[in-house]
Amino acid sequence: MRVTRRGFIQAVGASAGAAALVRGHLAKADVSAGDLERWATPEERLLPSICQQCPGGCGLIARTLDGEVAGIAGNPLHPINRGALCPKAYGALQLLYDPNRLRGPLARDGARGRLRPIGWDEALRRVTEHLSGLRAKGLAHTVAILGGQYRGYRDTVWTRFAAAYGTPNYIRVRCLAPEQPALAHQLMQGATSPLSYDLAEARCILSFGVGLLESWLGPVHASRAFAGLRVGAERHRGRLIHVDPRRSHTAIKADRWVPIIPGTDGILALGIANALIRERLYDREFVEQHTHGFEDWAEASGQRHEGFKDLVLSEHGLLTVSNATGVAVKTILEIARDLATLKPAVVVGERGPAYGPHDLHTRMAIHSLNALLGNIGVAGGLLAQADLPLSPLPGVAQDEAAKRGLARPRIDGAGRGRYRLVSSAPQVLPERILGGDPYPVNALFLFATNPLANHPAKEGFALAFERIPFIVSFSPFLDESSARADLILPDSTYLERWQDDQVTHLAGFSGFSLAGPATAPRHDTRDTVDVVLQLAESLGGSVAESLPWERFDKLLHAGARGLWESGRGYVVSTPAEESLHRVFERQGYWVPEFKSYEEFWEALVKRGAWWDPTGLSAGRKALLRTASGKFEFYSTALKKIVDEAVAREGTDAPLVQALGGRDRGDRLYLPMVPIPAREEPGAFPLRLITYRPVTRPMGGGRNQPWLLEQPAVLVRAAWERWVEVPRETAAKLGIADGDPVWVGSAKGRIRLRARLVAGGSPEVVSIPLFGGEGPNQNDLIANETDPFRGFGLLNTTRVKVSKA
């Protein structure tokens, strides 16, 4: 730009005038030079925090300037992520500074949907009076608590509150519970705590639809393991084999992507088992010494039972499996040979969404491959971790009101009948609430969940909400569910409150993460745990006795003492210090680092985590806790559960029917998945697959535009909502890339933009899980319940696609 002499003089004059004006204002305000320097050089602090965007539990470092969070980075000391982060972590800043956050409590003002500000004291008084009134009438059991995806002491507080108050209805709305042992692991190994997949030490990883690199338990932890699989100075390059109908991010990164007909994963697993057995590639020593039900066998009474081996060889031949799954015989054989030769190998099948109608037996079939490979309890296979040595909390006090309430059946039916094997069944709640079955719901608490938007049964939940006279939401935002509440008591975001995370699902260590507030609450919000503790105190009696802590940090301080007293593990430190610890450990020594618990606590708060890298249970015996003491192809635990159901409800018991009926014989208790008949396409010829991109946090990310702006690399899309259509299918339908289309199911239809993709099954279309306003994939998904997970069958809906 050309600057004239006149323009230059005018600019200098304006600058001088502005400087004089500033000097005048500063003089009036009596601002010293020291204050100016303070403004120019704010106090900088680096504080540990914990990412809450997914179940991964990565360690963060929050950079604050004069107490305000100015940046997010990975905690280089944290053993889960070692300083690495995925895109979701950076959305924490937009959660914190979102202009649409609620400024304080709100109360219903007339009709539902109309809200007005209310003070905390008045809001808590209303909740206390309502809860006290229900309890006095013997109706404590009619209170329901609906919780989303979280774990650790936050879950502990809600669990203790429900038990002390007297409601059996603490119900979790989530399709993944990493702090609990997988059902297949319980039935086949007797697991009482989560088993972990030692991805970092494996040379071959076979994944059945598990989004290891985008949305599994810990995508950063898995990505670090994947990097070690690809390059390593001390071992040969390993292989990642990914089975998935969709060409996902993990599929593209894999050494081999195996497209498959949706819902046939278990059949493919049995085909691989057939190849391992037929070619004698399985670990015969492990199978012979440590398994039950592989060969035909007889009870002491003389009753004969079919074994896994002969059934697989006779019913799941390679050609039969190939026809059912769409996977070539040659590919099945090559996968089996890779698993047998690239050792240690591990097979991963514990994803969130159900595999299909035979989900339990599918997961059992996938897990049976780990037994055939003999990788139970070995490095690079499946490991069991020592429990976290947290201090035991005092027992929950229960008065007569609590005992009477807890004796009543749960509203969702979990733990009995058809849902005998699940701890929560939120999918059936709308129907039960609308029918008053087994009793009306008089109060509902919503924490970290938005069922009116993020649940396949959202329409039913909307109707059910109208039947509930008192709803309390703890959402920090005005979302679809909180807008229908009678009271909103907004939670602080995770950068504004105390946090903990209890890591029990990542192989190689057990760990405990801790973080204090990185900044003070920006608005008149409160940590929901502190609110629950205050409610308990107000209710008094056994409820207050069961939750005696004044604040959440007091509870954390009490629980973490057990880490200090355990005589094992360390507060995370630099690599050099960790190496020194390992030298001592190899010699059988544990060297205490701190002289007192308070010194230990201070270091834990400052560094962000404790871990025990040697906290793995020794030997296979710790992983095989079944009645036989072995890995059970024939699950005696499942047989006992079925026998009890039949004795109580007859041969047509709902649980037995959900498993396939007694006509299946021994196949009911074995990891056997029936070959389905070819399904006629009908009016809805395509199968819908939903998935969570690496840029989408739990809840969808509507308040994090940075993440919504991140392009989906495979389809070059951002901001908008899209459906991924195979090019072959799109050509038949006359659809071009970018065309607006209608996606319809028997439930409804939504308008999206078509993005064409290469590869995969031509019968499959995919929609990412979105947050925010606009078309919602739950308007398509059928409201079907998986009886073995309690959540919806997300990937069984059939759809059609047409130009809009």
Structure confidence at residue 245 as a pLDDT band (50, 70, 90): very high
As a whole number of angstroms, the distance between CA 56 and CA 564 comes to 25
Structure confidence at residue 25 as a pLDDT band (50, 70, 90): very low
Q: Check residue 170 and give its pLDDT.
A: 98
Fold category of 106-178+398-491+526-547 in CATH: Rossmann fold (3.40.50)
Mean pLDDT, residues 224-251:
83
As a whole number of angstroms, the distance between CA 424 and CA 786 comes to 11
Q: Check residue 3 and give its pLDDT.
A: 44
Q: Check residue 618 and give its pLDDT.
A: 54
Residue 571 clears pLDDT 60, i.e. is over it: yes
Tens-place pLDDT, residues 710-766: 877 778 777 888 999 999 999 999 999 999 999 999 999 999 999 999 888 899 999
Residue 302 clears pLDDT 70, i.e. is over it: yes
Mean pLDDT, residues 43-72:
94
Q: Check residue 615 and give its pLDDT.
A: 56
Q: Check residue 35 and give its pLDDT.
A: 66
Structure confidence at residue 143 as a pLDDT band (50, 70, 90): very high
Residue 582 clears pLDDT 80, i.e. is over it: no
Distances (CA, A) of 798 to 156, 222, 782: 39, 32, 9
Structure confidence at residue 660 as a pLDDT band (50, 70, 90): confident
Tens-place pLDDT, residues 388-407: 899 999 999 999 999 999 99
Q: Check residue 219 and give its pLDDT.
A: 87
Q: Check residue 752 and give its pLDDT.
A: 95
Q: Check residue 33 and give its pLDDT.
A: 59
Mean pLDDT, residues 303-326:
96
- Which pairing describes strands 631-632 and 291-292: parallel, antiparallel, or unpaired? parallel
What is the rounded average pLDDT for all residues in the chain? Answer: 89
Mean pLDDT, residues 534-555:
97
Q: Check residue 794 and give its pLDDT.
A: 77
Greater confidence (56 vs 367) lies with 367
Residue 194 clears pLDDT 50, i.e. is over it: yes
Domain at 45-99+495-522+564-613: CATH code: 2.20.25.90
Nearest CA to 368 out of 298, 279, 262, 265 is that of: 265
CATH architecture of 195-384+623-634: 3-Layer(aba) Sandwich (3.40)
Tens-place pLDDT, residues 84-107: 999 999 999 999 999 999 999 999
Residue 665 clears pLDDT 60, i.e. is over it: yes
Nearest CA to 241 out of 217, 218, 265, 220 is that of: 265
Q: Check residue 192 and give its pLDDT.
A: 85
Mean pLDDT, residues 279-283:
97
Residue 459 clears pLDDT 80, i.e. is over it: yes
Structure confidence at residue 12 as a pLDDT band (50, 70, 90): very low
Residue 19 clears pLDDT 80, i.e. is over it: no
Map out the domains of the chain as residue ranges: 5-40, 45-99+495-522+564-613, 106-178+398-491+526-547, 195-384+623-634, 686-803
Q: Do domains 45-99+495-522+564-613 and 195-384+623-634 have the same CATH topology?
A: no
Mean pLDDT, residues 4-20:
43
Structure-token pair, residue 565:
């007293």
Distances (CA, A) of 250 to 13, 327, 638: 61, 18, 33
Structure confidence at residue 227 as a pLDDT band (50, 70, 90): confident
Strand extents, DSSP E, 336-403: 345-348, 382-384
As a whole number of angstroms, the distance between CA 725 and CA 740 comes to 12
With 0-12 / 13-18 / 19 or more C-beta atoms within 10 angstroms meaning exposed / middle / buried, residue 762 is: middle
Residue 572 clears pLDDT 60, i.e. is over it: yes
Q: Check residue 13 and give its pLDDT.
A: 43
Question: Which percentage of the chain shows pLDDT scores above 70?
Answer: 91
As a whole number of angstroms, the distance between CA 314 and CA 757 comes to 38
Structure confidence at residue 16 as a pLDDT band (50, 70, 90): very low
Lowest mean pLDDT among 23-37, 167-181, 500-514: 23-37
- b/e 519-558 (16+ beta carbons within 10 angstroms → b): bebbeebbbbbbbbbbbbebbeebbbbbbebeebbebbbb
Mean pLDDT, residues 652-675:
90
Q: Check residue 136 and give its pLDDT.
A: 97
Q: Check residue 1 and give its pLDDT.
A: 42
Structure confidence at residue 20 as a pLDDT band (50, 70, 90): very low
Greater confidence (166 vs 18) lies with 166
Residue 468 clears pLDDT 60, i.e. is over it: yes
Tens-place pLDDT, residues 621-647: 778 999 999 999 999 999 999 999 999
Q: Check residue 23 and give its pLDDT.
A: 44
| Three-state secondary structure call for residue 270 | helix
Greater confidence (646 vs 697) lies with 646
Which residues face 778 on adjacent strands?
none
CATH architecture of 686-803: Beta Barrel (2.40)
Structure-token pair, residue 18:
């502005």
